[in-house]
Amino acid sequence: MSDKAMEVTLAAARASSVLNAVSDLIWTAIDVYPSLKEKLQSLAGEINKAKHVVDLIRSQKGLQTSGVVAGIRMLESHGKILESDLMSLGKNKDGNSLKTIGEKLKEARKSLIQYIRLASVGLAKDDLAITVDTKVVKSTDEAVKKILGKELGLDIALFLARLKRNPDAKGKIRLTEKDYEYWTRHQTEIAHPESTTLSTEVKTRIVVNCLARDQSIQILGAVGVDLWASIAFIKIEGLVSMNEAIQIAVPITLDVFQKVLDTQSQRIAASRPKG
């Protein structure tokens, strides 16, 4: 199994485990808090939809891209927050908090669906050629539509249909550099529509759907020199830091970077068993 396949398998397994645990907690909570039955049943429906999306990704190798993996992890993180809220019902949490995290979970699921639809399924690029395997696109598109609905198929399938180009004997369509640039631009425009108003000459930086966990340090900005100073468009959203992780998405000085390293080193040292 490749590193990418292993990464997807682990991410999907973790997300499924969390979603299953949340589903069980919801039905228990319905019995304990009948006044929250309507809100809890709505959450159960959302969890079930999320589980179907994760199962789809696990079954379709063509969907297992870096963006999709990030989306799965984001879904898992919101699921863990919901799990914590359910465990705290009647203590310091009420129905309003459930509604809020339920909405975030729904947004995470929709974001994951967008990653699925924009995945470069069947596309291969090397120094010799850029090709798309139409057989892989067709089978994956059919699987996606079966789970998500006919109106939510793969964008790359529509892209190929517009090209009106016949595949070769192996079922592959060769793309020109112009075709490829169009496809990648389409992916960016759909995922980040704000960028469409910008000139192609300006510098942009998009940092979305990043997850830091455990005792990791995730630096998403420049260190030492502010390389973002001349960037005209910056988008930062959907960042989640869990456990004792440190996540930084802005340019920082070397002094701040050193303090972050020292802080995390002290945390790790303090967590080690003594003796």
Instruction: Indicate the residue type of 109.
Output: R
CA distances to 11, 216, 263 from 243, rounded to whole Å, are: 17, 9, 14
Rounded mean pLDDT, 43-48: 93
Rounded mean pLDDT, 160-187: 92
Rounded mean pLDDT, 82-95: 78
* Number of neighbours of residue 190 by Cβ within 10 angstroms: 13
Share of the chain above pLDDT 90, in %: 37
Confidence of residue 19 (pLDDT cuts 50, 70, 90): very high
Rounded mean pLDDT, 244-250: 86
Sign of CA dihedral 22, 25, 30, 33: negative
What DSSP letter does each residue of 69-109 carry, written as one string?
HHHHHHHHHHHHHHHHHHHTBTTTB-HHHHHHHHHHHHHHH
Torsional class of 273: left (φ above 0), alpha (ψ -120 to 50), beta (otherwise): beta
Model-level pTM? 0.72
Whether residue 93 has pLDDT greater than 70: no
CA distances to 105, 115, 149, 165, 248 from 162, rounded to whole Å, are: 34, 21, 21, 8, 41
